Amino acid sequence: MGYDYRNPKITDPTMLDVHPPHAPTHTWRDFFIHIATIVIGLLIAIGLEQAVEALHHHHLAHQARERLESERESNQGSNEFNIYSTHRHQRDLQHDLALIHAARAHTAPPPGPFILHHPRYVYLEDEWHKIHQSGTINYLDQNLAPLDYRYYQQDAFMERMDESTKDLYRAGAVLRQQDDPLNNTLQSNVEVADFLKKIADSHETLNEEQVRRGYARWAERADLTRLTPAQLDRLEIAIQTAISDDDDLLSYCFNIKRNLIRNPQK
pLDDT for position 247: 97
The verdict on residue 10 lying in a domain is no
Q: Which residues contact residue 4 at a Cβ distance below 8 angstroms, ignoring those fewer than 6 apart?
A: 11
pLDDT level of residue 3 (50, 70, 90 thresholds): very low
Q: How far apart are the first and last CA of the chain?
A: 97
pLDDT for position 155: 96
Whose CA is closest to 119, among 218, 203, 252, 212?
A: 218
Q: Is the pLDDT of residue 204 over 80?
A: no
The verdict on residue 17 lying in a domain is no
- Furthest CA-CA distance within the chain: 147
- Give the 3-state secondary structure of 8-74: CCECCCCCCCCCCCCCCCCCHHHHHHHHHHHHHHHHHHHHHHHHHHHHHHHHHHHHHHHHHHHHHHH
pLDDT level of residue 8 (50, 70, 90 thresholds): low
Give per-residue pLDDT as tens, 79-124: 999 999 999 999 999 999 999 999 999 999 999 999 999 889 999 9
Give per-residue pLDDT as tens, 71-80: 999 999 999 9
The verdict on residue 6 lying in a domain is no
Q: Which domain holds residue 85?
A: 28-262
Measure the CA–CA gap between 177 and 115, rounded to whole angstroms. 16
The verdict on residue 1 lying in a domain is no
Give per-residue pLDDT as tens, 10-27: 455 555 454 555 555 568
Q: Is the pLDDT of residue 259 over 50?
A: yes
Measure the CA–CA gap between 237 and 230, rounded to whole angstroms. 11
Q: In this structure, which amino acid lies at residue 239?
A: I
Domain count, the chain: 1
The verdict on residue 33 lying in a domain is yes
